[in-house]
Amino acid sequence: MDTLDARALRCPLPLLRVKLWLKAAKAGQALRLWLADSGSRRDIPAYVSGIGHRVEVVADEPGRLELIITKAP
């Protein structure tokens, strides 16, 4: 599983990094993602699930959202 700690990044950088990962990843590959930025916390799960990939929320705490994104076939 790949990991991306984007807690220090502000929107739109986390989304751009996720898009690059999705482009390079193979179907079934997973990414553990940590976010802190409020815009990214809202936008990334909506974007990723909206284009058909799986998003699992592992932890949702003040200042930290942890997701596992699995690329769809």
Active site residue 57: no
pTM for this one? Answer: 0.95
Query: Are the beta carbons of 15 and 47 closer than 8 angstroms?
Result: yes
Residue-wise pLDDT for 33-67, tens only, equals 999 999 999 999 999 999 999 999 999 999 899 99
pLDDT confidence of residue 41: 96
Domains and CATH numbers, the chain: 2-70 (3.30.110.40)
In the set 7, 9, 11, 66, the catalytic residue is 11
pLDDT confidence of residue 2: 98
Q: What DSSP element (H or E) covers 39?
A: helix 38-50
Q: In sequence order, what are the residues at sequence separation of 6 or more whose Cβ sits closer than 8 angstroms to the Cβ of residue 9?
A: 17, 37, 40
